[in-house]
């Protein structure tokens, strides 16, 4: 029997996520009502996932539920915000209970980890599409913007780059399952880790930050555009995973790292004197943080090799349209 | 030439809506940052429109832009909230500039009227689908809920009922264009008026409220379910427009009013002694407010005719799944 809209929300989502004290009215009224935090700014981000565009057919319902929230939490991380609430607009071709169970499990697992309560949403019938809006808090005036990079800043990234792009390439070639790095790469592509703790630590430290969803060149490019600055990326400093080093040539690795999307690592710029403190924070939090270059006052993004020679960019990342 | 995601946002939306002092960072970063209002609760609502489900092929891009925001503002109205900000997730088969122009115009016109600033969003390629999330303010603890109806309350509705349903019926039969009430009915269906001022006036007065999106029986039913109460609707008190009276039989009119969705009027319950004050407010604000029945302690919704005989419900409104 088909489930009604109300049953879907009640069965799968109303009590699936964290329960927060600041939620006065959650799912089930015309709108949610939440208490606000004095002296803080509210961060609001929205991302949509479309079947076939933002996840491949191989993604499980649980992967999709995880990803729908993860990409949004990554946006909050890039602002330095502490996650609080989410809304979920779910468009489904049919109310498949197995799928809904998996989706809700993936969504709720991540929501719980970050103390996020689902406070509302809408379910409609149509081609599979998921839009999540997330809300988080930063002390007033401390949100991390794209616009603050300054000449001389060190450019850092979290984690390793290009893994999601490599995973997708192998998946599309039918070679992922046979890879010895299958589990690692699947995790990197299907369950990217939102770097929330790092984002919070960077408040008051980083001059600018962005999450890498469209590829390093494209996303660092947004920082440069907003900051009216340029950057030099030292290609030999790009951080690669063991999977990347073993599965591809150096040239392909560089391409994945520069142009491949979906890593959801943070790229940020800091004053050089903070580099050591930030690196130490990374070590104690088991998160690799790598300086990959520096900000310059002259606009434009240049990639140089170990000899300082400029490397041409074959691709400038992924554009949605 | 195809527009990139960033051009779409910049061209059509970044400066299209109201500019609010409480927006610290609007469109263009990983998330928006907004200032909060001390002593207030934040209301958050999300609604999705799918082509062919929530609007017919005859809807213009401007109608769709209007409607995407209107149905969400209607949710805020039902909470008694003062609108503040919106995010927009727009999935399009292609970046058609004429369509985008119209959509943005319809969206922005309504946003301006209610002082709403668009603070973020996402554009993706796929089957046409629009998800809007709106935010608004109520003084802490004063939000209108579905759950407060009390035995003896008067049940009131704003405006006239069933017009949107009648319009859709005529449209689907190819008879709307020939109707002398074409303009009125098109307006009622394509551009439903969010009853924001009424909602704000009802704070501290109404015991419960909801907006009528799925039909009076279904939506009043939600109030009853949440309030653990029942209601009697006096069918001969249902407010009809002149178009309704002239285009349909009394039986059809009743059916449109009880089961037809998409009116986006408010249905609310108030202590009987406030009825006169609320009616007066309606008169001075050029908004018809009609008592259509009353709340009883015994659960269930009964419709009675002028003689007090119970009328059977042929339909119980529209369920999404």
pLDDT digits (tens, 9 = 90+) for A244-276: 999 999 989 999 999 999 999 999 999 999 999
Answer whether A78 touches B (CB < 8 Å): yes
Span B269-299, pLDDT tens digits: 999 999 999 999 999 999 999 999 999 999 9
Inform me whether the pLDDT recorded for B185 exceeds 90: yes
Q: What is the pLDDT of residue A318?
A: 35
DSSP B124-184: EESS-EEEEEEEEEEETT----STT--TTPEEEEES-SSHHHHHHHHHHTT-TTT-TTHHH
Inform me whether the pLDDT recorded for B320 exceeds 80: no
Whether residue B211 and residue A30 make contact (CB cut-off 8 A), yes or no, is yes
Q: Is A12 exposed, middle or buried (0-12, 13-18, 19+ CB in 10 A)?
A: buried
pLDDT higher at B185 or B316: B185
Instruction: Kindly list the residues from chain A whose CB atom is less than 8 angstroms away from the CB atom of residue B31.
Output: 43-45, 75-76, 78-79, 81, 134, 136, 143
Inform me whether the pLDDT recorded for B315 exceeds 50: no
CA distance A313 to A318: 13
Instruction: Kindly list the residues from chain A whose CB atom is less than 8 angstroms away from the CB atom of residue B140.
Output: 35
Answer whether B142 touches A (CB < 8 Å): no
Instruction: Kindly list the residues from chain B whose CB atom is less than 8 angstroms away from the CB atom of residue A134.
Output: 31
Whether residue A131 and residue B127 make contact (CB cut-off 8 A), yes or no, is no
Span B100-131, pLDDT tens digits: 999 999 999 999 999 999 999 899 988 899 99
Q: Which of A83, A131, A202, A215 to mutate to test the interface with B (most CBs of B within 10 A)?
A: A131
The answer to whether A278 and A290 have CB atoms below 8 angstroms apart is no
Q: What is the pLDDT of residue A217?
A: 95
B residues 253-292 lying closer than 8 A (beta carbon) to A: none
The answer to whether B162 and B256 have CB atoms below 8 angstroms apart is yes
Closest among A22, A20, A18 to A34, alpha carbons compared:
A22
Answer whether A124 touches B (CB < 8 Å): yes
| Candidates A53, A91, A210; nearest CB to B48 | A91
The answer to whether B119 and B26 have CB atoms below 8 angstroms apart is yes
Residues of chain A predicted below pLDDT 50: 1, 315-321
Can you give the pTM of this predicted structure? 0.93
Instruction: Kindly list the residues from chain A whose CB atom is less than 8 angstroms away from the CB atom of residue B143.
Output: 24-25, 31, 33
Answer whether A36 touches B (CB < 8 Å): yes
ipTM of the complex: 0.91
The answer to whether A95 and A3 have CB atoms below 8 angstroms apart is yes
CA distance B103 to B59: 11
CA distance B52 to B77: 26
Whether residue B321 and residue A5 make contact (CB cut-off 8 A), yes or no, is yes
CA distance A169 to B60: 41
Answer whether A11 touches B (CB < 8 Å): no
Instruction: Kindly list the residues from chain B whose CB atom is less than 8 angstroms away from the CB atom of residue A99.
Output: none
Neighbours of B308 (CB within 10 A): 8
The answer to whether A34 and A119 have CB atoms below 8 angstroms apart is yes
**What would the mean pLDDT of B135-145 be, rounded to a whole number?**
97
Instruction: Kindly list the residues from chain B whose CB atom is less than 8 angstroms away from the CB atom of residue A133.
Output: 44, 46, 87, 89, 133
Answer whether B45 touches A (CB < 8 Å): yes
Q: Name the average pLDDT for chain A.
A: 92
Answer whether A93 touches B (CB < 8 Å): no
- Stated as kind and residue range, the H or E segment containing A117 is strand A117-125
Whether residue A53 and residue B126 make contact (CB cut-off 8 A), yes or no, is yes
CA distance A61 to A145: 33
Q: What is the pLDDT of residue A275?
A: 97
Inform me whether the pLDDT recorded for B313 exceeds 80: no
Q: How far apart are the first and last CA of chain B?
A: 39
Q: Is A110 helix (H, G, I), strand (E, B) or coil?
A: helix
**What would the mean pLDDT of B35-40 be, rounded to a whole number?**
96
Q: What is the pLDDT of residue A84?
A: 98
Inform me whether the pLDDT recorded for B11 exceeds 90: no
pLDDT higher at B150 or A15: B150
How many residues are recorded in chain A?
A: 321
Whether residue A31 and residue B47 make contact (CB cut-off 8 A), yes or no, is no
B residues 227-256 lying closer than 8 A (beta carbon) to A: none
**What would the mean pLDDT of B164-169 be, rounded to a whole number?**
96
| Candidates A32, A34, A47; nearest CB to B122 | A47
- Indicate if the alpha-carbon torsion angle A295, A296, A302, A308 is positive or negative: negative
In DSSP terms, which residues pair with A93 in a beta bridge?
A: none
Task: Write down the residue that tokens 């209007």 correspond to.
Answer: B66
Number of A/B CB contacts below 8 angstroms equals 225
Q: What is the pLDDT of residue A314?
A: 57
Task: Write down the residue that tokens 């509210």 correspond to.
Answer: A42
The answer to whether A306 and A247 have CB atoms below 8 angstroms apart is no
Q: What is the pLDDT of residue A2?
A: 52
Among chain B residues, CA nearest to A140: B35
All residues at 6 or more sequence positions from B15 whose CB lies less than 8 Å from its CB, including other chains: none
Q: What is the pLDDT of residue B89?
A: 95
* Tokens (6 digits) for B201: 């006036």
Helix axis angle for A61-79 and A182-190, nearest 10°, is 60
């Amino acid at each position: 029997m088909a489930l009604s809209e109300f049953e879907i929300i009640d069965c799968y989502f109303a009590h699936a996520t964290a329960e927060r004290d600041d939620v006065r009215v959650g799912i089930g009224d015309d709108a949610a009502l939440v208490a606000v935090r004095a002296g803080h700014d509210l961060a609001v981000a929205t991302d949509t996932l479309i079947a076939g565009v933002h996840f491949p057919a191989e993604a499980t319902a649980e992967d999709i539920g995880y990803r729908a929230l993860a990409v949004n939490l990554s946006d909050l991380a890039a602002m330095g915000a502490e996650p609080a609430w989410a809304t979920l607009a779910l468009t489904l071709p049919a109310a498949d209970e197995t799928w809904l169970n998996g989706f809700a499990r993936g969504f709720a697992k991540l929501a719980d980890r970050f103390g996020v309560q689902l406070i509302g949403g809408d379910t409609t019938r149509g081609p599979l599409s998921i839009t999540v809006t997330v809300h988080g808090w930063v002390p007033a005036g401390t949100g991390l913007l794209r616009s603050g990079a300054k000449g001389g800043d060190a450019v850092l990234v979290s984690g390793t780059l290009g893994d999601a792009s490599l995973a997708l390439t192998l998946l599309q070639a039918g070679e992922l399952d046979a890879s010895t790095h299958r589990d690692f790469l699947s995790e990197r592509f299907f369950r990217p880790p939102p770097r929330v703790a790092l984002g919070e630590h960077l408040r008051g430290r980083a001059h600018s930050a962005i999450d890498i969803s469209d590829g390093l060149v494209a996303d660092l490019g947004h920082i440069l555009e907003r900051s009216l600055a340029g950057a030099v990326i030292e290609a030999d400093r790009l951080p690669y995973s063991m999977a990347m080093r073993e599965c591809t040539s150096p040239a392909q690795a560089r391409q994945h790292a520069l142009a491949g999307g979906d890593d959801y690592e943070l790229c940020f710029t800091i004053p050089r004197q903070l580099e050591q403190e930030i690196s130490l924070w990374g070590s104690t939090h088991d998160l690799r943080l790598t300086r990959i270059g520096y900000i310059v006052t002259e606009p434009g993004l240049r990639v140089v090799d170990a000899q300082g020679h400029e490397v041409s960019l074959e691709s400038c990342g992924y554009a949605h349209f």
